[in-house]
Structure 1
């Protein structure tokens, strides 16, 4: 396996990215904190940044990297990098090879379909609980994310959209106040986002899929459980159709 030459900046254009407005814009408008401003620990920041690099293919499937190269790339020490890689390994985004490095896993349709099968039940549970249990402040934040998502859809800004999606997933999981469900589903969302990002450029329904995410965010913000569950099911139905469409006829 060949070592990947890591880019000087991890904001470069990537395979599968749209041709316009892909550089993530600030999500801190409307008085809300951007995802990177949540007071995260170094371990959490390392995980968040590495996950973004993998999901957006800036660390390409099959790439071989090292703790040292990743530390230099994102400016965080090797101990948090090591912890983040352990978590990413559990989520099947990397494979750790002792004394050889770390391999970014390949994108796998079979795994994606299994992920969606599992996500359907967990996402439905989290949607129902989050709609029921979210505080007023959390609903307001969800509404803000929904507006940010809608702007990203209108602009065709897929990288911005993915940032919003990651924050919305975290917000819904927190608002559900069920840490078992939250921990279980967190390992699935990044795998699913990477699969979608890899194939979305050739999927004619990309804008519809993005809009279904907006609808889910709006339903969660509304606090109506039935609407949130229905929106969650509609999104998974669409993602399942999308995933199956990637198989050559």
Structure 2
């Protein structure tokens, strides 16, 4: 990639709300930045399955050295978003539906805990933030699309994780959320306005229950959300087997 192309890529990241590092970035901050940028590109299929990641090219694009890039790639390998092969390089992993179903099974149990605990512990300020997001998402239902769903998916999860007050939960659940968003991006050709509307509604139901502080309703809403997510994944699996 040319120097000009790298600059344009960094400008694009900045425009999308991804902080571009300054010269004063220390190694840890640079590694965190690289991790989040590369993760976002993998999730959004900008880096598709089997795409080879070059430390040198990524360093040029992001304006940081290869050491933090290498650390970011190790973290992404731990998250199973990439695979590092000795003497070959780092490659983006495949999106496998059966693996995704295993992920949903685990996520379901963790998010039941998260939603019910958040409903119990959320502050009034956090509840206000949730109500603001709920209003935004209700407007989005009027013209549902993938972007609204992906935004709702991440925003509602971040708010709920914060509301639990559990400092360990974010690190456990964040990689699962990345895989889930990547699944939706990868299978976006099977989206319809009806699918988007259902997905947003299920997320809204969880958020509303948590905002109201209703633990039982939050538990039921999470159950219905995951019934929908699993049903969609099974429809995708069935469609791929009939092609």
TM-score of the pair, normalised by structure 2? 0.77
**Which aligned pairs between 1:1-249 and structure 2 lie closer than 5 A?**
9=9, 41-204=29-192, 205-247=195-237, 248-249=241-242
Deviation, 1:41, is 4.3
Q: How many pairs align?
A: 223
Residues 10 and 156 (structure 1 numbering): CA distance in 2 closer, same or farther, change over 3 Å?
farther
Q: Give the 3-state SS of the residue equivalent to 1:246 in structure 2.
A: helix
CA offsets per residue over residues 78-136 of structure 1, 9 Å max, x none?
Answer: 44433332222112111123443211100001110100010111010000111111222
Structure 2, gaps ≥5 residues long: 20-27
Distance 1:186 1:125 in 2: 15
Distance 1:152 1:55 in 2: 22
Distance 2:159 2:42 in 1: 21
Q: Is the 8 A contact 2:144 2:196 kept in 1?
A: no
Distance 1:147 1:79 in 2: 43
Residues 67 and 154 (structure 1 numbering): CA distance in 2 closer, same or farther, change over 3 Å?
farther
Q: Give the 3-state SS of the residue equivalent to 2:228 in structure 1.
A: helix
Q: Is the 8 A contact 2:146 2:188 kept in 1?
A: no
CA offsets per residue over residues 131-175 of structure 1, 9 Å max, x none?
Answer: 111222222222233333344444444235424422332221222
TM-score of the pair, normalised by structure 1? 0.76
Distance 1:151 1:105 in 2: 35
Distance 2:211 2:60 in 1: 39
Residues 10 and 35 (structure 1 numbering): CA distance in 2 closer, same or farther, change over 3 Å?
closer
| Relative contact order, higher structure (CA 8 A, sep 6+) | 1
Structure 1, gaps ≥5 residues long: 13-24, 27-33
Distance 1:45 1:95 in 2: 20
Residues 41 and 201 (structure 1 numbering): CA distance in 2 closer, same or farther, change over 3 Å?
same
Deviates more, 1:49-58 or 1:80-89: 80-89
Runs of 4 or more above 4 Å deviation: 8-12, 74-77
